[in-house]
């Protein structure tokens, strides 16, 4: 095989053993890489009903056929497992030198089973794999862990690690790299922690073999030049994702006070221009010339990288309008290895619960000290409220009762990322149908929806959500490459089949790539249904009641809410277009059309298929 290495590294932590699997080329053709490989492995090898934090869960790190090649923004990988937060399929995507090193070491992915009984880290150098003692790393922040490991193994290695949140099994702990790259929102860090795996260190010294290296080099160089010529290039390098704060405020979608509102009175103090005033450095993922990691100095004089989601969820959503203080919360989340989006939601939920007198603790909107204390309560599970919120807002609402589930802002158990949807039906559908729970990464349809008109609930909007899910959640998550050159600067999609051809020697049309994406979405859906058995239903695809029942009370869209009946109509169209029935369950025909007929028998043991 060219482009793909054709090999997975299999690791058993219980037995401290490893092996190399040479996989069939047909796997690459049908599932491409990254997320595609991840779901195929989890479907085939994970026993249904496995407890996510037990040794039986399977943790995979998967690259794709473009990872680590000299083409724009290719330094990414996917981390996936059964999620302890949602009990469904969970994954995330992070940029890291580890992605490049993994491929140079000769692997497209690592499949980790079992659990160690004491803290370990993996050291991988091409064929050599060692299980090393991590007693002295356990308890360390992600920043210190990386520092220590690069002192031991050299600055040129790639490192993936967890912080105390992952060790303490906080259900939305994530995986970190390079002091500012984070992925695996639905608790991939907790799965790593449950396996007592503190880190993975990779050094790869081999060439990644490609079908046409000269052509790939030429295309890559042209691609980088093309990106530099894009009109938004300079501004992107200045502000990166932070410019979204101003955009969200202008369009009334900036989550504010636990998604009660879409506008924040201090938005100008926490946006891209405010960030530029405190910026000290810029950095990014490997093989990227758009480097969008804006490093600022926080209120405690320390450095942290800011992104839109982090700032909105730890800022406007909790009523905090001081960027340097938000940066402290962001840095602590990075050091402890906890997802900023979920922890911001959890803090906002606690503030609202306190206001409604459902908690004995007094935690006021915008109170930085209280937010900081709460964040640490959660990471270290050091009191009742910390333990409650460490399991996510869905769980917390089940415990608190009093209709708090209406304003526990989550779908399928994953906290919603930073776009208010009181007046954005297509974006609400995107959150509702995202394959990992409420995350914007699969279909960030809101920018398009703002242009075409927000009032309507149309088939066109549903088709757009599916189109974006195919491109973003399918193609980019499998390649695996950063989608930002395309979505933010307009780097044309046509480049990617050309890169693929030069890397693998194979032609992929967009029809074929979208079919792969549909196959992956359908298999992920089957995974959820298998895990939820009799509890699966279309209500799993519906966002929280707040957006339907509680109108915005201020701003230009004051009075707006989503319409539940019309949302349900869009959901039915969505199912129809995907070939799923009215319960959101794939039909036999859809499974056959996508080459997934081999899973019909297993699914039929659980649910009647139409």
Question: Which stretches of the chain bind ligand PTT, using CB under 6 A?
Answer: 76, 92-95, 174, 180-185, 241, 285, 305, 307-310, 333-334, 338-341, 441, 476-477, 480, 482-484
Residue 284 contact among ligand SF4, ligand PTT, none, beta carbon within 5 to 8 Å by kind: ligand SF4
The residues of the shown chain that bind ligand SF4, judged by CB under 6 A, are: 73, 95, 284-285, 288, 290-293, 482, 484
Q: What's the min distance (Å) between Cβ of 94 and ligand PTT?
A: 4
Contact between 61 and 107 (Cβ < 8 Å): no
- Rounded Cα distance between 511 and 97, Å, is 32
Q: Which two structure tokens, joined as six digits, stand for 442?
A: 């699969």
Kindly state the helix (H) or strand (E) to which residue 104 belongs, with its residue range. helix 97-104
Q: What's the min distance (Å) between Cβ of 335 and ligand PTT?
A: 9
Task: Please say which residue, 46 or 182, places its beta carbon nearer to ligand PTT.
Answer: 182
Q: How many residues does the chain have?
A: 610
Q: What's the min distance (Å) between Cβ of 209 and ligand PTT?
A: 23
Residue 341 contact among ligand PTT, ligand SF4, none, beta carbon within 5 to 8 Å by kind: ligand PTT
- Rounded Cα distance between 108 and 154, Å, is 23
DSSP structural state of residue 152: H
Q: What's the min distance (Å) between Cβ of 568 and ligand PTT?
A: 27
Identify the CA nearest to 494 among candidates 466, 475, 477.
475
User: 479 to each of 33, 362, 499, 514, how far by Cα in Å?
Assistant: 6, 47, 10, 13
Task: Please say which residue, 305 or 541, places its beta carbon nearer to ligand PTT.
Answer: 305
Residue 290 contact among ligand PTT, ligand SF4, none, beta carbon within 5 to 8 Å by kind: ligand SF4
Identify the CA nearest to 379 among candidates 326, 349, 337, 340.
337
Residue 288 contact among ligand SF4, ligand PTT, none, beta carbon within 5 to 8 Å by kind: ligand SF4
Q: What's the min distance (Å) between Cβ of 301 and ligand SF4?
A: 25
Grouping H, G, I as helix, E, B as strand and the rest as coil, residue 290 is coil
Output phi, psi for 584, to 5 deg.
Answer: 80, 25
Task: Please say which residue, 163 or 586, places its beta carbon nearer to ligand PTT.
Answer: 163
Grouping H, G, I as helix, E, B as strand and the rest as coil, residue 375 is helix
Task: Please say which residue, 170 or 526, places its beta carbon nearer to ligand PTT.
Answer: 170
Contact between 200 and 159 (Cβ < 8 Å): yes
Q: What's the min distance (Å) between Cβ of 592 and ligand PTT?
A: 30
Residue 308 contact among ligand SF4, ligand PTT, none, beta carbon within 5 to 8 Å by kind: ligand PTT
Contact between 295 and 327 (Cβ < 8 Å): no
Q: What's the min distance (Å) between Cβ of 539 and ligand SF4?
A: 34
- Rounded Cα distance between 128 and 327, Å, is 40
Task: Please say which residue, 327 or 404, places its beta carbon nearer to ligand PTT.
Answer: 327
Residue 291 contact among ligand SF4, ligand PTT, none, beta carbon within 5 to 8 Å by kind: ligand SF4
Task: Please say which residue, 304 or 388, places its beta carbon nearer to ligand SF4.
Answer: 304
Q: Which residue is nearest to ligand SF4 (CB)?
A: 284
What 3 state SS string does 456-493 have?
Answer: CCCHHHHHHHHHHHHHHHHHHHHHCCCCHHHHHHCCCC
Contact between 313 and 418 (Cβ < 8 Å): yes
Residue 334 contact among ligand SF4, ligand PTT, none, beta carbon within 5 to 8 Å by kind: ligand PTT
Contact between 239 and 276 (Cβ < 8 Å): yes
Task: Please say which residue, 62 or 482, places its beta carbon nearer to ligand SF4.
Answer: 482
Q: What's the min distance (Å) between Cβ of 71 and ligand SF4?
A: 11
């Amino acid at each position: 095989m060219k482009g793909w290495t054709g090999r997975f590294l299999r690791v058993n932590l219980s037995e401290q053993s490893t092996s190399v699997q040479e996989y069939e080329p047909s796997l690459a053709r049908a599932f491409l890489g990254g997320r595609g490989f991840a779901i195929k492995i989890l479907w085939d090898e994970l026993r249904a009903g496995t407890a996510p934090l037990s040794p039986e869960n399977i943790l995979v790190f998967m690259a794709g056929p473009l990872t680590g090649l000299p083409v724009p923004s290719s330094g990414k990988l996917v981390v996936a497992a059964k999620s302890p937060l949602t009990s469904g399929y969970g994954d995330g995507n992070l940029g890291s030198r580890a992605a490049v090193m993994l491929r140079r070491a000769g692997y497209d992915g690592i499949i980790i089973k079992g659990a160690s009984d004491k803290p370990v880290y993996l050291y991988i150098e091409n064929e050599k794999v060692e299980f090393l003692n991590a007693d002295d790393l356990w308890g360390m922040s992600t920043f210190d862990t990386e520092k220590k490991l690069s002192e031991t193994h050299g600055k040129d290695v790639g490192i993936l690690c967890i912080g105390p949140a992952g060790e303490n099994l906080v259900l939305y702990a994530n995986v970190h790299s390079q002091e500012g790259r984070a992925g695996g929102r639905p608790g991939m860090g907790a799965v790593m922690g449950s396996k007592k795996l503190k880190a993975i260190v990779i050094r790869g010294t081999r060439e990644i073999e490609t079908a046409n290296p000269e052509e790939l080099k030429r295309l890559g160089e042209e691609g980088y030049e093309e990106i530099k010529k894009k009109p938004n290039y300079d501004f992107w390098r200045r502000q990166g994702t932070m410019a979204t704060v101003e955009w969200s405020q202008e369009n009334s979608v900036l989550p504010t006070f636990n998604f009660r509102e879409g506008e924040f009175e201090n938005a100008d103090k926490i946006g891209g221009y405010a960030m530029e005033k405190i910026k000290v450095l810029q950095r990014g993922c490997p093989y990227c010339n758009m480097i969008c990691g804006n490093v600022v100095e926080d209120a405690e004089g320390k450095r942290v990288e800011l992104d839109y989601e982090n700032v909105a969820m730890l800022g406007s959503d909790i009523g905090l309008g001081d960027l340097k203080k938000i940066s402290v919360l962001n840095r602590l989340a990075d050091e402890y290895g906890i997802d900023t989006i979920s922890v911001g939601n959890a803090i906002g939920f606690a503030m609202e619960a306190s206001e409604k007198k459902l908690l004995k603790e007094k935690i006021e909107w915008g109170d930085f000290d209280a937010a900081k204390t709460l964040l640490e309560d959660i990471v270290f599970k050091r009191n009742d409220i910390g333990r409650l919120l460490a399991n996510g807002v869905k769980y917390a609402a089940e415990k608190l009762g009093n209709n708090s589930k209406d304003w526990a802002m989550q779908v399928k158990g994953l906290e919603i990322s930073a776009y208010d949807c009181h007046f954005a039906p297509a974006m609400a559908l995107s959150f509702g149908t995202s394959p990992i729970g409420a995350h914007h990464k699969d279909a960030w349809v809101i920018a398009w929806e703002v242009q075409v008109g927000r009032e309507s609930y149309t088939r066109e909007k549903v088709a757009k959500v599916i189109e974006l899910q195919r491109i973003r959640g399918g193609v980019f998550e499998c390649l695996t490459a950063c989608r930002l050159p395309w979505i933010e600067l307009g780097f044309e999609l046509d480049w990617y089949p050309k890169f693929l051809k030069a890397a693998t020697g194979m032609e992929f049309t967009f029809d074929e790539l979208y079919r792969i994406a549909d196959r992956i979405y359908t298999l992920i859906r089957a995974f959820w249904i298998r895990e939820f058995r009799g509890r699966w239903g279309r209500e799993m695809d519906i966002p929280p009641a707040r957006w339907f029942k509680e109108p915005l009370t201020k701003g230009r869209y004051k009075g707006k809410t989503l319409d539940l009946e019309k949302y349900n109509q869009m959901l039915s169209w969505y199912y129809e277009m995907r070939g799923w029935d009215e319960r959101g369950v794939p039909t036999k025909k859809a499974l056959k059309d996508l080459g997934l007929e081999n899973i019909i028998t297993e699914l039929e043991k659980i649910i009647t298929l139409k």
